[in-house]
Amino acid sequence: MGTWVFLAAGWVLLTALFGLVTSRNLIHAIGCLTVAQSSTYLLLLAVGYRRGATAPVYSDLTPGTRPVVDPVVQALALTDVVVGATVTALLLALTIQLHKRHHTVDPQSLTGLKG
Amino acid sequence: MTEATLLPLAVALPLLGAALLAVAGRALPRLGCDILATTCASAETACLALLWTRTDGHLATADLGGWPARLGIVLAADPIGAGLALLVAVLILAVIVYSWRYFDEPTGEHAGAFPALILLFEAGMAGFALTGDLFNAFVFFELMGAAAYALTGYHIEDPRPLHGALTFGIVTSFAAYCSLLGIGFLYARTGELNLARLGQQLAGHHTDMLTVVAFVLICTALLVKAAAVPFHFWLPDAHAVAPTPVCMLMSGVMVELGVYGIARVYWTVFSGPGGIPHAAFRTTFTALGVLTALLGALMCWQQRHLKRLLAFSTVSHVGLFLIGVALLTPDGVAGTALYVAAHGLVKAALFALAGVLLDRYGSVDEHGLHGRARNLRLVGVLFVAGALALAGLPPLGTGLGKALAEEDAARWQPWLPAVFVTASALTGAAVLRAGLRIFFGAGPAPRRRPDQEETTGQGEEPEIRSPQRTAPPTMTVVPAVLLALAACIGVLPAAATALAKGAAVFTDPARYTATVLALPQPAGEGNPPPAADWTMPGVLLGLLSTALAVALATAAVHQRTPELSAHHPAARAVRTLRRLHSGHLGDYLAWLTVGVAALCIALAAQT
């Protein structure tokens, strides 16, 4: 695995960035934002991965018998999921409201603020 | 109460208050919500004031959940972090008092939502200032972000706030994920998240591309929050549309937390061997600061939308703060801390006064309001005082902070004080110009500029439902008190001395590590606290920038500034700069990428 996962995470981030920069639809842009977030899951889980190890759940596992993957990164990824869900929900709610009032979801047609 | 109780309490209090308000707000009348919110904000201010007095010249730490620092999450407060949290609490209290009668909302399902969001915002900011754990800092960063996006788009009836909030939210969240990638890189290298342990572990490695990329990625979110050029584009848009009390918080302290985050991460993690060399950090971030200060000041001068004008003035001052922090000396940190505190109070007061105009006239347009606010004499006088404070007039706190920071900067590069003087004179002059025109009707009415790409500030939705009511007295009292506090910081030496002691602790990572991890303290006294007093050159430079600001503002009001033809190179350059602030999400993210790449290249070339 090694380097490839890190490269993949970087690639996913850049794809999301490309989507965000060229986006003509806010729903699409917020989708791209969650793609950017997926790159962080990929990286975090790759950092804590151990070949041949199992999940760090000790209910059916005697400590010390088998190697386990790093539980810290899994906790980080879970926290990240929660944080991301909040932000995505909030941004989508704002977009719905924007569509109701402004009848558009194209970020390029928003020209109220410039200079 | 001990420090170990005060620290978690400082984060828990506003969270509890927010939950209480969200639940009880449905049943309570308007007055009940106001009383509850004010009580929470006052208790938090008292808690942080107590904590600040306890951290006199040393670090206070608290291990959460009883886990030792090498395993669990720690909160750590030195005088600078605790002082910033105290500034947050003071401004939150001011905002809650200011908005008592500001939002004339119907009570009902959503009563209490606004103060609950404000308290949630406070929890995020206080937690960010007090945490000693990198991932915890990310979580608090997102908490403060989510509250800020919701508050920016609070007026959901109007499309512009939604636009501002969406841009703000998407750009900041994207940057936050970049930071999380950086945190992942650091964790991969060291297996730690605690700031002190990270610094310790990193010392065993060589500086390579991974360190540089991790540092730049972690800094991305902080630089976006701090609104350094070219990461700053979201800020004027969000400030132009956010409700005034929210602007008071965002400009007053949220943006500065980004600068604090960079300084904290650099000093505790990357300042040792295996991190980023001091010379590389100093050069790169000073360059970034100079660019930010000058561009912010230039754009500030071009604005006629008052809130946008104040927003660009914040960008400019953030550049000065970045320079002060990048000097990497206790003197620079002490001066910057003072400057941040005084600037936060002054900027919040100026936004509050702009809010009075919005409340009275439903507009914040400098040209449209020319001479219309003549009867608001007291507000006008306060506004002009705020403008002079921004310009660095001695003996106000902004003047003292600027004097200390620029004196230290001059020791490294003799030309840096010129940047400080230019930026503070231009931003002060722009605010002064607007104040003279609006409140005193000075000079002829400004000419129309139909060809300019700009946001005018006319036709803003007034933030209340009945513009005919009399202005509530709190809307003038709060800015007056904030300005008085800013003056006290400059006149009374106690705050400056305490922050100078704090700066000595802040710039001593060995002591931080030892205290957080409960190791034996390093031998020696550590850095001596720098002197934090007025000096002759400081007073003279402060007077110079104020005089420049007055001269510029007077010339502009009476239209004696040279009129450039549209084809003049300078006029073209300004027009291009203004076009860059296009309001398009894609452009802003493209600039963010350019900034990250430039920082990576600059730092990699120097390591």
Per residue in B422-472, pLDDT tens? 999 999 999 999 999 999 988 888 876 666 666 776 656 555 555 566 778
- Alpha-carbon distance of B406 to B537, in angstroms, equals 10
DSSP codes joined into one string, B477-545: HHHHHHHHHHHHHHH-HHHHHHHHHHHHHHT-HHHHHHHHTTPPPPSS--SPPPP----HHHHHHHHHH
Q: How far is A7 from chain B (nearest CA, A)?
A: 12
Q: How far is B364 from chain A (nearest CA, A)?
A: 14
Q: How far is A56 from chain B (nearest CA, A)?
A: 17
Provide, as residue numbers in chain A, all residues whose Cβ is less than 8 Å from the Cβ of B237: 113
Provide, as residue numbers in chain A, all residues whose Cβ is less than 8 Å from the Cβ of B450: none
Q: How far is A79 from chain B (nearest CA, A)?
A: 8
- For chain B, state the CA radius of gyration: 23
- The residue of chain B nearest to residue A37, with distances taken between CA atoms, is B177
Torsion of CA B76, B79, B85, B86, to 10 degrees: 140
Between A87, A97, A112, which is nearest B173 by CB? A87
Q: Which two tokens stand for residue B295?
A: 């561009």
What's the pLDDT score for residue B286?
Answer: 96
Provide, as residue numbers in chain B, all residues whose Cβ is less than 8 Å from the Cβ of A89: none
Interface test with A, best of B117, B134, B177 (most A CBs within 10 A): B177
What's the pLDDT score for residue B520?
Answer: 86
Give me the mean pLDDT over the A47-74 stretch: 84
Q: How far is A106 from chain B (nearest CA, A)?
A: 10
pTM confidence score: 0.95
Query: Quick check: B180 and A40 CB within 8 A?
Result: yes
Q: How do residues B256-287 score in pLDDT, each as one tens digit?
A: 999 999 999 999 999 988 889 999 999 999 99
Query: Quick check: A90 and B158 CB within 8 A?
Result: no
Query: Quick check: B578 and A115 CB within 8 A?
Result: yes
Query: For residue B602, how far is the Cα from the chain centroid?
Result: 25
- The residue of chain A nearest to residue B459, with distances taken between CA atoms, is A112
Provide, as residue numbers in chain B, all residues whose Cβ is less than 8 Å from the Cβ of A91: 149, 166, 169-170, 173
Q: What angle do CA B91, B95, B99 make, to 5 degrees?
A: 175
Query: Quick check: B584 and A80 CB within 8 A?
Result: no
What's the pLDDT score for residue B449?
Answer: 66
Q: For chain B, give the mean pLDDT.
A: 90
Query: Quick check: B237 and A113 CB within 8 A?
Result: yes
Provide, as residue numbers in chain A, all residues whose Cβ is less than 8 Å from the Cβ of B240: 113
Q: Which chain A residues have any C-beta within 8 angstroms of a chain B C-beta?
A: 9, 13, 16-17, 20-23, 26, 29-30, 33, 36-37, 39-40, 43-44, 47, 72-73, 76, 79-80, 83, 86-87, 90-91, 94-95, 97-98, 101-102, 107-108, 110-115
Cβ pairs A/B, distance under 8 A: 141
Q: How far is A65 from chain B (nearest CA, A)?
A: 22
Residue that wins the pLDDT comparison between B519 and A115: B519
What's the pLDDT score for residue B423?
Answer: 95
Q: How do residues B141-174 score in pLDDT, each as one tens digit?
A: 999 999 999 999 888 777 888 889 999 999 999 9
Q: Is the pLDDT of residue A53 over 60?
A: yes
Provide, as residue numbers in chain B, all residues whose Cβ is less than 8 Å from the Cβ of A98: 159, 162-163, 166
Q: Is the pLDDT of residue B308 over 70?
A: yes
Work out the pLDDT band at A87, boundaries 50, 70, 90: very high
Residue that wins the pLDDT comparison between B124 and B1: B124
Work out the pLDDT band at B177, boundaries 50, 70, 90: very high
DSSP H or E segment with residue A4: helix A3-22
Between A26, A39, A115, which is nearest B454 by CB? A115
- The residue of chain B nearest to residue A47, with distances taken between CA atoms, is B188
Q: Is the pLDDT of residue B89 over 70?
A: yes
Q: Which of B16, B17, B34 is closest to B97 using CA atoms?
A: B34
Q: Which two tokens stand for residue A42?
A: 């990929």
Query: Quick check: B586 and A108 CB within 8 A?
Result: yes
Query: Quick check: A101 and B455 CB within 8 A?
Result: no
Torsion of CA B88, B89, B91, B97, to 10 degrees: 160
- For chain A, state the CA radius of gyration: 19
What's the pLDDT score for residue B298?
Answer: 94
Q: Which residue carries 């450039």 as its tokens?
A: B564
Q: Is the pLDDT of residue A2 over 80?
A: no
The HSE-up count of residue B496 (CA atoms within 13 Å, CB side) is: 28
What's the pLDDT score for residue B463?
Answer: 59
What's the pLDDT score for residue A1?
Answer: 56
Q: How far is A43 from chain B (nearest CA, A)?
A: 7
> Diameter of chain A by CA atoms?
64
Query: Quick check: B184 and A44 CB within 8 A?
Result: yes
- Give the DSSP letter of residue B165: H
Give me the mean pLDDT over the B238-243 stretch: 90
Query: For residue B336, how far is the Cα from the chain centroid?
Result: 12
Give me the mean pLDDT over the B204-215 stretch: 91
Residue that wins the pLDDT comparison between B523 and A32: A32
What's the pLDDT score for residue B392?
Answer: 92
Work out the pLDDT band at B105, boundaries 50, 70, 90: low
